[in-house]
Structure 1
Amino acid sequence: MTWILRDGQTSGKGYAATSASMHLVTVAVSLRQRGCALTRDDQAAARKALDGLAVRLLQEGERRGRGQAVAAEMPDLYRVVRACPDTLAGARDKALIPSRAQDPAGLLAGDVALTPRGMVVSVINRQDDPEICPVEACTAYRACLAAEAPPRWSEPTAPAFVGVDRHGGASAAWSRTP
């Protein structure tokens, strides 16, 4: 963890603490998949070391990371939407991408209303091009969910955007479960 924060990038600079944390999770999962007996104590020790190093960086006034992400341009949006597979997960992702929802995991299906002018979450307007229209994407996603998942995932108390497991089925992995 020290090396990742100090000079882990190929540029010789250290990663931001949040990126280093993601690396820690990735390493832990990879080790377990390879049959290593990694205990919670092992991972907790690494997490504690990472947290201590991150605090020290803050105390030294060093800020890392890219900061605010730049807005996606329209060609980028089309490429991302077109890269989504024709699956339940792909339909969900297409519905999330154009809407740029801040916290889709906390939304319930009853929190999302489709209107003639658009999709009401906070304010999401209908787009002229149906390929990148969040209302069209949400409509397609909800239809796919209703067709492929048990009825409980279509109830108003279900998450608006459900997790999709590795087998392509709806799961409660994303937040409040019905």
Structure 2
Amino acid sequence: MTAQHDNSREPAVPDAPTSIVNTSGERPLSPHDRLAALDSVAAAYVAEQRPANTRKAYADAWRIWQDYTRDAGIPVLSSTVGALVGFVRWLETTKAASVATIDARLTGAVVGLRGYGIPVDQEASRAAWNALKGYERRLAEAGIVRGRGKAQPVTLAHLRAMSRACPSSVAGLRDRAVLLLGFTIAARRSELAGLRVTDLVSAGSDGLLARLGYTKTGPDERAVPYGVHRDTCPVSAWHAWRQAAGMTEGPAFRRVDRHDHVFAAGLSAQAIGEVIARCGKRAELPFRITGHSLRAGLATEARRNGADHKAVCDQGGWSYGSKAVHGYFHTVDRWSDNAVRDIGL
């Protein structure tokens, strides 16, 4: 299905009426009109429930879609097999985009089209994702890597090395707290950046409760137990940083200058990522550490020590049945639950 090309349109659902009650004095709305109005209100309401990061990602994807339709000379509200497969091909050939990037752009484009009331046929979307799988296979066969790839999980040995490499300065105490809390609750960078001092609540001899507000999976409160090793105890690390910084409220993680002066403003998600990357460099780890390395690390290390899917999802804020968690588990289970292990080779 297509419509006239208008690249000025934004990646959101159409403006929805705030009410379906006709107060203008014009003819009463028909049942069909009322149903259409309810559909518009529902679409707008559902779109508003998406997390801010998701809305931004979809908006970025829609702008890329607009660029593509402009280059291709097709209507912006095109949803045919050719339009969607062509988008995958365009991202591959003109942008040299990674598989993960194309997947995200394609998802955003489909969401944007549906937001404008354009039905996306299952055959069209299936063809586009099959084209993407073909691209992924060709890259693998050619040994070509595009994008950063999956984050390398941080093991407990890595975590211990990074913690020990943190200096004894106030900034070093902050870095250790970021590192250990981030690992323990499998936090995203944005979640660490959004933490307030009052979000980390004492649970007595058990440790701390980290209240992360409302995340992708709903209201989120995660347990932070005391560690058995001081080098990797997240509770001790938090208390040491908080005491050194003299904080009682405000952002949990803040900028510290070279004179150990602690600023009032909190670190951004990007700055949190830079802190984590520096921790990896200090410890001279043989791979690049990212914010997601902590998240992947918690899942893999927990699985290695016998945690089940539900426990890991609860601790890291993943939705039950998460494909990402299954992927982390596979890296462990392919060895511990290997069909060849006990056959006597």
User: Considering the TM-score relative to the shorter chain, is it more than 0.5?
Assistant: yes
Secondary structure at 1:120 match in 2:
strand
1:162 matched to 2:254: yes
**Which residue in 2 is equivalent to 1:15?**
none
Secondary structure at 1:95 match in 2:
helix
**Which residue in 1 is equivalent to 2:267?**
174
Q: TM-score scaled to structure 2, two decimals? A: 0.30
Give the fraction of aligned pairs with identical amino acids, expressed as a percent: 32
Shift of 1:111: 0.7
**Which residue in 2 is equivalent to 1:112?**
200
Shift of 1:126: 1.9
1:88 matched to 2:158: no
**Which residue in 1 is equivalent to 2:156?**
74
Structure 2 CA distance, aligned partners of 1:126 and 1:76?
19
Structure 2 CA distance, aligned partners of 1:68 and 1:169?
36
How do 1:96-135 residues align onto structure 2 when only pairs under 5 Å count?
A: 96-100=178-182, 101-102=187-188, 103-115=191-203, 116-121=205-210, 122-135=222-235
Structure 2 CA distance, aligned partners of 1:120 and 1:88?
23
Per-residue CA shift, 1:49-79, capped at 9, x if unaligned? xxx9xx8897423303233313211221111
Kindly provide the amino acid, as one letter, of the partner of residue 130 in structure 1: R
Per-residue CA shift, 1:29-68, capped at 9, x if unaligned? xxxxxxxxxxxxxxxxxxxxxxx9xx88974233032333
Shift of 1:142: 1.0
Shift of 1:165: 2.2
User: Is the Cα contact below 8 Å between 2:251 and 2:266 reproduced in 1?
Assistant: no
User: 90-99 vs 164-173, which deviates more?
Assistant: 164-173
Kindly provide the amino acid, as one letter, of the partner of residue 60 in structure 1: L
Q: TM-score scaled to structure 1, two decimals? A: 0.56
* Structure 1 runs (4+) greater than 3 angstroms displaced: 55-59
Match of 2:91 among 60, 63, 66: 60
CA RMSD of aligned residues (A): 2.5
User: 120-129 vs 88-97, which deviates more?
Assistant: 120-129
1:143 matched to 2:235: no
Shift of 1:108: 0.8
Structure 1 CA distance, aligned partners of 2:229 and 2:168?
19
Change over 3 Å in CA distance of 1:114–1:166 after alignment to 2 = same
Change over 3 Å in CA distance of 1:170–1:80 after alignment to 2 = same
Shift of 1:137: 0.4
